Structure 1
Amino acid sequence: PLGTAAILEASASRLTQAERMRWRYYRVRRGDSLGAIARQFDTSVAQLQRANGISGSLIRVGQKLMIPSGEGWAGGLA
């Protein structure tokens, strides 16, 4: 309907980044590294570390990682 886009855009602009963010989950497999996982999901190692409370590069097989995705993480409206 006419005017709906403007209302939606105004509402979205008031949301915090965390409120706009969507998450996926990934289970670490043998041979995985944070760098490879970051490339697979088009994010950075630093973002994966921050999202999962990881200070180094050590991950374990079977570990469940939160993968940030969605327009909130990228920093703009789609």
Structure 2
Amino acid sequence: MEIAVKRISHESKQGLREFVSEISSIGRLRHRNLVQLVGWCRRRGDLLLVYDFMPNGSLDNFLFEKPRMVLTWEQRFKII
């Protein structure tokens, strides 16, 4: 099983809020198009979120990074 680990800054209140928010929201969601939160850890000041690894990268990067690719309607419907 391959995983991805997201490390959140523990030095700011925003980082702690983001950490708690992701655990409470994403941890309860189940959808075939959403990455699954496998677990979390708070150790030695590090806030870590463990997700299933997605080999194609994030949808966010695909949609907002340059050069921007245009999705066909068929591709868009597959995302939903």
Asked if these proteins are the same fold (TM beyond 0.5), I'd say no
TM-score, normalised relative to structure 1: 0.31
Structure whose residues are more often helix by fraction: 1
Kindly name which structure, 1 or 2, has the bigger radius of gyration based on alpha carbons.
Answer: 1
TM-score, normalised relative to structure 2: 0.31
Structure whose residues are more often strand by fraction: 2
Query: Higher RCO, 1 or 2 (CA under 8 Å, sep at least 6)?
Result: 1
